[in-house]
Amino acid sequence: MSTPTQPDTATGDDAPRSIAATVPVADLLACETTLSFAGLTPADQGDYPDAVSSEARCLDPDPRSLKEVIATLPQASSGELWATNEFVGVDGTVDTEAIRDIHGLDVDVLEDDAGCSLDELATRASSDPLVRICDHQDIVDEPRKALCALGYDVTFRWQIASDRYSIINPQEAYLPIIGALQQRGETEAFGWASYRDWGGLLTMFVVCPGLEHTVSGGEDTEFDDDTDGVTSVGDSDETDLIVYGGFETGYDFRGTQTLWAFHIRELLVAASGSGTGSLDRTNPSKFQIYHVIRRIC
């Protein structure tokens, strides 16, 4: 099946709707996966920098674009949470006999305090078998919810234990990254996104080839917390190492955490291609995503 051609524009009111059409169903069904990308949109060439070793863990023989990876994330919207009260029938009738059998509930004291019988209390009450939950935020992904309705084993909703949390749609939040990188000429940005719980938990690395720095190697060379953000490098084996700038970002729909982002330096490969470096990071403060875009990109 061919993939519909999508416009190159990464922003705009119709962007979340337009990119959703390109998402393979397998991605929506995946509970846990890592998706690599190279290039911002499908129109970009999608190649990794020559200095990056083929052994680097972020590489994929057929990488997607960043825009296509973002499209796999939940189209988060607000849902409604309801709890079932099994003591109330569908017609609103209260099952007083079942209430009397509850261990730990002293019905006699309850009747004395109310000044009437349990049956009278039940008659007066306007009860509903479904109770609206208002102290949690319900986050719903419509495409995955539709697949669940068709019988697929997929989670489509998450809850935040707060009534103050403003639901963030990851697609709407991350699409502006593409425009910011395009303005900086970083159309060859690459990286990977790892998510679990059907997109409820995400960590994404975006590496910018334009923020390249060469570290000259030497025997037993070590770098400790220098101003370029390299925390530590072991034996460099007398090769020059290429360090790229970028950022790490993510979110967690299963707690109370909103979007977060780190400024990173990613040590990827020896320029000679003889080896692959390891991940090196500073320990920077967290920034909101727009601060990271402004500072890094």
> How far is CA 141 from each of CA 19, 78, 80, 89, rounded to the nearest angstrom?
15, 9, 12, 31
pLDDT the model gives residue 177 = 93
Q: What is the pTM of this model?
A: 0.69
The whole-angstrom separation of Cα 186 and Cα 177 is: 11
Note the helical H segments in 96-254: 96-100, 107-114, 118-124, 142-149, 170-183
The CA radius of gyration of the chain, in Å to the nearest whole number, is 26
pLDDT the model gives residue 77 = 82
Q: Which residues face 262 on adjacent strands?
A: 248
pLDDT the model gives residue 38 = 93
The whole-angstrom separation of Cα 81 and Cα 224 is: 50
pLDDT the model gives residue 228 = 37
Note the helical H segments in the chain: 15-20, 25-29, 66-71, 96-100, 107-114, 118-124, 142-149, 170-183, 289-296
pLDDT the model gives residue 58 = 60
pLDDT the model gives residue 241 = 73
Residue by residue, pLDDT tens for the chain (297 residues) are 333 334 344 444 444 444 444 688 999 999 999 999 999 999 997 888 887 766 665 678 889 999 999 999 998 888 877 888 899 998 889 999 999 899 888 989 998 988 999 999 998 888 888 888 887 778 889 899 899 899 899 998 887 777 776 778 899 999 999 999 999 999 999 999 999 999 999 999 998 988 887 777 654 444 444 333 333 334 445 566 777 888 999 998 876 567 888 876 544 443 333 333 333 333 333 223 333 333 333
pLDDT the model gives residue 61 = 80
> How far is CA 209 from each of CA 95, 184, 250, 264, rounded to the nearest angstrom?
67, 11, 21, 13
